[in-house]
């Protein structure tokens, strides 16, 4: 339940070929530390990646646990996509709202995020494909820092498994 299906260091390493191979037609994206850093800035490569992926017909939506509507408005406008505010991940309700808006089957949707305990567990509970990515900035808020060692262990394990293949 806490394992993602895959892990990428950077979100822009998720290619259209990879998504097609795994039958993924839509992505539910986390916002904080996945699309933007702690200063609410979106790196150029993330914006470029999102535009390219969308251009290839992959549907995108943001599901954030944040309740900062201004910030979500800004980021979703930048990408031209919808969002779910206060998604309450790892609970299923917010993610399933996103599924409904995407209009795709859960088998064809991947959840992408930097946190095991919200994004990955939430996605797994909804039977979606889950992709863990590194937080855009290493420096973490004090209230999430305690969870990082577990995430690092899991990333190490996945990397090791990949290398053994
Ligand atoms: Mg996050």
Q: Average pLDDT over the chain, rounded to whole?
A: 92
CA distance 104 to 109: 7
**pLDDT tens digit sequence for 44-62:** 899 999 999 999 999 999 9
What is the CB neighbour count within 10 angstroms for residue 145? 10
Under the banding of pLDDT at 50, 70 and 90, the label for residue 31 is very high
The pTM of this model reads 0.87
**Model confidence at 11: pLDDT above 90:** yes
pLDDT, residue 144, reads: 56
**pLDDT tens digit sequence for 130-141:** 999 999 875 544
96 or 9: whose pLDDT is higher? 96
Domain ranges across the chain: 6-164
The pLDDT of 119-135, averaged and rounded, is 97
CB atoms within 5 A of ion ligand 1 belong to: 30, 32-34, 114
CA of 90 to the centre of ligand 1 (A): 12
pLDDT, residue 30, reads: 98
The pLDDT of 143-162, averaged and rounded, is 77
Non-local (6+) Cβ contacts of 159 within 8 A are 7
DSSP 98: H
**Bond from prior residue into 90 cis (ω within 30 degrees of 0):** yes
Q: So what's the architecture of 6-164 in CATH?
A: 3-Layer(aba) Sandwich (3.40)
**Model confidence at 145: pLDDT above 80:** no
Continuous H helices in the chain: 16-21, 44-55, 69-79, 92-102, 121-125, 142-145, 148-164
CA of 126 to the centre of ligand 1 (A): 18
pLDDT, residue 159, reads: 86
CA of 34 to the centre of ligand 1 (A): 5
pLDDT, residue 39, reads: 82
């Amino acid at each position: 339940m806490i394992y993602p299906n895959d892990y990428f260091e950077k979100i822009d390493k998720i290619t259209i070929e990879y998504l097609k191979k795994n039958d993924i037609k839509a992505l539910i994206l986390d916002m904080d530390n996945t699309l933007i850093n702690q200063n609410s800035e979106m790196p150029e490569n993330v914006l470029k990646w999102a535009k390219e992926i969308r251009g290839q017909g992959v549907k995108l939506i943001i599901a954030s646990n944040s309740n900062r509507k201004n910030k979500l408005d800004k980021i979703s406008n930048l990408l031209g996509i919808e969002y779910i505010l206060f998604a309450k991940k790892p609970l299923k309700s917010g993610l399933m709202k996103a599924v409904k808006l995407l209009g795709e089957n859960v088998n064809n949707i991947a959840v992408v995020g930097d946190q095991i305990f919200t994004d990955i567990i939430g996605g797994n509970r909804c039977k979606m494909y889950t992709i863990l990515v590194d937080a855009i900035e290493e420096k973490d808020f004090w209230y999430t820092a305690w969870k990082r060692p577990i995430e690092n262990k899991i990333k190490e394990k996945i990397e090791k498994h990949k290398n053994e293949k």
